[in-house]
């Protein structure tokens, strides 16, 4: 069974053991994340959902038994198989670990083949969970990204953005210029054609404005008159206040 793309979390306070397990499993295509204690493991669980946990029993602070107890109340770990890797050989320790939900027990020191055998066994029925939504029940999501309006077209706008925008998708544009012309309340939708990738790696997408009239398009296209510089205004007013002198006249 291929183990590629599986995610395994190793919880052990001994960095040499963590490194050994990681090297063995990474050679099989497994992704390994390491935690030096139980507290760190639960912090990592907020951003990682492992397919398998390998945990030591003897650690400072919270130990492996504490992890087995606490995992039963944590959504990320509750259904994840746990392989205990410990030097504790007493039957009481093994029975206690199994009673708390451990899936298997591996005695230290162990060799690579024994570790691989147990990992394969525990992961044989584990895979990434997927769900395909029916087309009429697709979930809606939104996000914001910076973009530029590069051109005003007959029925809409051409925007440049760092991402490709899906065809015929509703979008919301926010800018002071659109707000100035009352376009912030209009409905925008990308045209039914793919975005075009430019030479800079950014994407150009045509966005149609539903209900847009020609007068607003003309306003958007009309360049704004430049504001004269302050120095130029003062010079003009100074010249206007003086009448041209005739030849021979004195000031």
pLDDT tens digits along 62-75: 999 999 999 998 88
pLDDT at 190: 86
Pairing of strands 187-190, 203-210: antiparallel
- At residue 110, φ and ψ (nearest 5 deg) are -125, 160
Establish if 191 belongs to a structural domain: yes
Residue among 129, 151, 170 at smallest CA distance from 7 = 129
pLDDT tens digits along 190-235: 888 888 998 888 999 988 877 666 666 666 666 555 544 444 344 3
Domain end (from 88, 123, 158):
123
Pick the residue with more confidence: 129 or 50?
Answer: 50
Residue among 47, 51, 55, 15 at smallest CA distance from 31 = 51
* 108 plus 48 within the same structural domain: yes
* 37 plus 86 within the same structural domain: yes
What is the domain extent for residue 163?
143-221
Q: Domain of 102: which CATH number?
A: 3.40.50.2300
pLDDT at 244: 45
Tell me the pLDDT of the chain averaged across its residues: 82
* 13 plus 108 within the same structural domain: yes
**Number of folded domains in the chain?**
2
* 114 plus 158 within the same structural domain: no
């Amino acid at each position: 069974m291929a183990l590629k793309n599986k995610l395994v979390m190793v919880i052990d306070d001994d960095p040499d053991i963590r490194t050994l397990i990681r090297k063995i499993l990474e050679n099989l295509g497994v992704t390994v994340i390491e935690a030096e204690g139980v507290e760190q493991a639960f912090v990592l669980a907020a951003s990682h959902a492992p397919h398998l946990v390998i945990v030591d029993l003897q650690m400072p602070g919270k130990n492996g038994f504490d992890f087995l107890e606490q995992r039963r109340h944590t959504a990320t770990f509750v259904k994840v198989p746990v392989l205990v890797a410990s030097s504790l050989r007493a039957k009481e320790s093994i029975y206690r670990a199994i009673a708390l939900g451990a899936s298997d027990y591996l005695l230290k020191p162990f060799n690579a083949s024994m570790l691989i055998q147990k990992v394969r066994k525990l992961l044989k029925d584990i895979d990434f969970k997927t769900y395909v939504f029916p087309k009429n029940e697709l979930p809606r999501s939104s996000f914001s990204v910076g973009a530029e309006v590069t051109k005003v077209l007959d029925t809409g706008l051409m925007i440049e953005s760092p991402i490709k925008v899906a065809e015929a998708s509703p979008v919301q544009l926010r800018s002071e210029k659109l707000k100035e012309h009352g376009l912030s309340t209009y409905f925008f939708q990308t045209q039914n054609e793919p975005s075009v990738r430019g030479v800079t790696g950014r994407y150009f997408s045509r966005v149609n404005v539903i209900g847009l009239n020609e007068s607003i398009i003309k306003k958007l296209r009309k360049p704004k008159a430049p504001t004269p510089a302050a120095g130029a205004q003062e010079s003009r007013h100074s010249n206007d206040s003086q009448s041209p002198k005739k030849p021979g006249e004195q000031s």
